[in-house]
Structure 1
Amino acid sequence: MDGRTGLPLVGMVGGGQLARMTHQAAISLGQSLRVLSVSADDSAALVAADVRIGSHTDLTALREFAGGCDAVTFDHEHVPGDHIRALEKDGIKVYPSADALIFAQDKGRMRERLSELGAPVPRWRRVRELADITGFGLPAVAKATTGGYDGRGVWMLQDEAQAQELIATGTSLIVEERVPLRRELAALVARSPFGQVAAYPIVETVQQDGICVEVIAPAPGLPEQRALEAQQLAIDLATALGVVGLLAVELFETDDDLMVNELAMRPHNSGHWTIEGARTSQFEQHLRAVLDYPMGATTLTAPVVVMANVLGGPPGGISIDERVHHLFAEDPGARVHLYGKQVRPGRKIGHVTVLGDDLAEVRARAARAAKRLQEGI
């Protein structure tokens, strides 16, 4: 509890853009957000008042950080499970728990548990030697069991030579079938310790080079029954895995079915549109969930909402501030979120959200806005 306000104090491990946007949501609720950041220059550390500098792998730093917090949560999944259990043993409320988070940290454990639960997943196998890949069948998809994100830690294997080269790196791997997908979807739900759940509309996510570049809410052309199935699947998984907070279920849509691709137990890129596009943003919902507040409404604020990620473009050109000036002159309705990051080619430095009635028009506006910020043109 923050003695100055009499309102909750939430600790978020990680100082990235997810913590930055969670801090913004905490402000309107009167809550205080304490951030554990590895650097004073991280996105959230630039704006939050209560920032502790330290590593998520340092148990002493985690314990000092967690002291006095009503709940501790994460803006990434990289905190060691043993450290989380130590905090839980100290009496700290940590959400999600170590027992839940492991299924977002380790893809092998995730696939095993989802298979046990009967959830739809691609055909897969753990990899211990080359024969595990060649016997599985090529072409196939290999994934590092830990640490991968934004296309990193994923390899499209075409032949035995590629597989042998990957095995030689010593990376812990699973191998999966290449799913004949129509598109990728995401189901975002929140769950409280009490067990209340709230589901957002199913969205379509558009990927380029393993990075999400666009999110469309609601997913266009998705039959109502399939959307309900996706929401129910996410709710069932959140309940079965004991997730508290947000759960993002990344899905493959095929001609006949839905398959679970990945899980994330935190605010997620597929939910950034909710800041303007839903009655309750994913960041406020996550705070509500970890503090066991009643969930907020998840309905859309417009018929169509599109979020486009802003990636760092080539060096040179006009400043990012000048680009914002030009964008606002061109499209006053575009909502801009910049993360305070140093610009590097391909790095996520922000996102834009556009709302409207016509899907084609809204997508075009969002794409133009992102390109304006990325390239200055």
Structure 2
Amino acid sequence: MSIRVGVIGGGQLARMMVPAAVNLGLDIRVLAEQEGMSARLATVEVGDYRDADTVLAFAETVDVITFDHEHVPQHVLRALVDAGVQVHPGPDALAVAQDKLLMRERLTELGLPVPDWARVHDQEELAAFLAEHGGKGVVKTPRGGYDGKGVRVVHGPNEVDDWFTALSEDANGGALLVEELVSFRRELAQLVARRPSGEVVPWRVVETVQLGGVCSEVIAPAPGSAGRLADTAEEIAVTVATALGVTGVLAVELFETDDDRLLINELAMRPHNSGHWTQDGSVTSQFEQHLRAVLDLPLGWTGCHRDWTVMVNVLGGPAEGTLDDRYPQVLGAHPLAKVHNYGKDPRPGRKVGHVNVAGDDLDDVVYEARAAAALLGAENA
């Protein structure tokens, strides 16, 4: 019988694990939030990932549990571990990804570079922080935010009154995270994979382009990143993965500041949008590597096939029809483009797919990737 990998979450990340699982002869099964999600290509069970009994019953059908997202509550994760289930990444690591305040605390304890930050409970504490940082800052809800949600740039303490009100109405209380508004020249992402026995393997650091808080493009490797910058990014990510005991793929989102520092912005403990380029640009994709890692198999080589790979997300999609309706046009005009379709209905702002193009001339690669995405109806191309 083949090894059975269970993925909690039915989104496109679970969907993109399927080809890698097929190649490795693995049986991949998904606990999806609802019918018809992206990962319907796999064996899918529909259930509430917040319910311990549901998740424990799903775990009985597989040999190891991993994740499409980081939102599974801690009491469910602990119940899995207590039942003897192999869970990767584990509850302690995921707790840091789930709570931005805990993330900042742990990274600061490890001496890793982060923006100046504070825990604030009310307008008075927020006002004091803003006064020390030029009257502006970035306020984040500690839990649940992604793709720009739960993040506000503020210039006064009253601009998150609704969040403070919500905190005051919460029986458990709580606080918001405020950070300095970092002046940066670009955003980067460093991916590594770590397996339980300790082996850690990085990819090249990449440049990410954001649009409205959502990743729009990725250039791999980041232009001008050879040498000290690449070494520093890799050292940061390896330290995070090792110190926090992350198993599977870890993405460390970074700011490259105007004064040549790298600061950690966010962490993701799963395959990540900034790593989709690896499907067509790296010897080992992040999805294959994630499966190897959670099964504690030797990790694959992460060298690049060509000098450059560019990924462009397809945000929105065609105004009429589906992505595959556009295949004759896009595949005929851009034979170098590799189209990845998430099986979602087009909708403004929605990630419905992405395009990868690899080659040895960066300008040509960028043009081909953007042009192919535009033909697929990408709002961002």
Q: TM-score, normalised by structure 1?
A: 0.95
Question: Which secondary structure does the structure 1 equivalent of 2:224 belong to?
Answer: coil
Question: Mapping of 1:15-164 within 5 angstroms?
Answer: 15-45=10-40, 47-48=41-42, 50-137=43-130, 138-164=135-161
Amino acid at match of 1:117: L
Aligned partners of 1:163, 1:11: CA distance in 2, in Å? 39
In the other structure, the counterpart of 2:351 is: 348
Residues 315 and 378 in structure 2, CA contact (< 8 A), matched pair in contact too? no
Offset of residue 172 of structure 1: 4.5
Q: Deviations over 1:297-330 (max 9, x none)?
A: 00011100000000114733x6433322110111
| Consecutive unaligned residues in structure 2, runs of 5 or more | 168-173
Q: d(CA) in 2 for partners of 1:197 and 1:127? A: 36
Distance 1:68 1:169 in 2: 39
Deviation by residue 1:306-364 (Cα, 9 ceiling, x = unmatched): 00000114733x64333221101111110000101121100000000001111111111
Deviation at 1:96, TM superposition (A): 0.6
CA–CA separation in structure 2 for the residues paired with 1:271 and 1:94: 22
1:187-198 to 2 correspondences below 5 Å: 187-198=190-201
Deviation at 1:229, TM superposition (A): 1.1
2:205 maps to 1:207 = no
Per the alignment, residue 265 of structure 1 pairs with 269
> Contact 2:207 / 2:219 at 8 angstroms: preserved in 1?
yes
Cα-to-partner distance string for 1:97-125 (whole Å, 9 max, x where unaligned) = 10110110000000000000000000001
SS across alignment from 1:52: strand
Could you tell me how far apart the structure 2 residues matched to 1:161 and 1:76 are? Answer: 32
Q: TM-score, normalised by structure 2?
A: 0.94
Partners of 2:234 and 2:152 in 1: CA distance: 29
Q: Which amino acid aligns with 1:120?
A: P
**103-112 vs 66-75, which deviates more?**
66-75
CA shift, 1:166, in A, is 4.1
Say if 1:282 and 1:319 are closer, same or farther in 2 by CA, change over 3 A: closer
One-letter code aligned to 1:17: Q
Query: Which residue of the other structure, out of 313, 318, 323, is the alignment partner of 1:309?
Result: 313
Secondary structure of 1:253's aligned partner: strand
SS of residue in 2 equivalent to 1:20 = helix
Paired letter, 1:283: F
Query: RMSD of the TM alignment (CA)?
Result: 1.5
Corresponding pairs, count: 369
Identity %: 51
For residue 184 of structure 1, report the CA deviation from its aligned partner.
0.4
Secondary structure of the residue that 2:376 maps to in structure 1?
A: helix
Which amino acid in structure 2 is aligned with residue 73 of structure 1? T
Cα distance in 2 for residues equivalent to 1:307 and 1:340: 18
Distance 1:313 1:30, change over 3 A: closer
Q: Is the 8 A contact 1:306 1:353 kept in 2?
A: yes
Give the Cα–Cα distance (whole angstroms) in 2 for the partners of residues 332 and 246 of structure 1: 30
Structure 1 residues 163 and 55, CA gap change in structure 2 (3 angstroms): closer
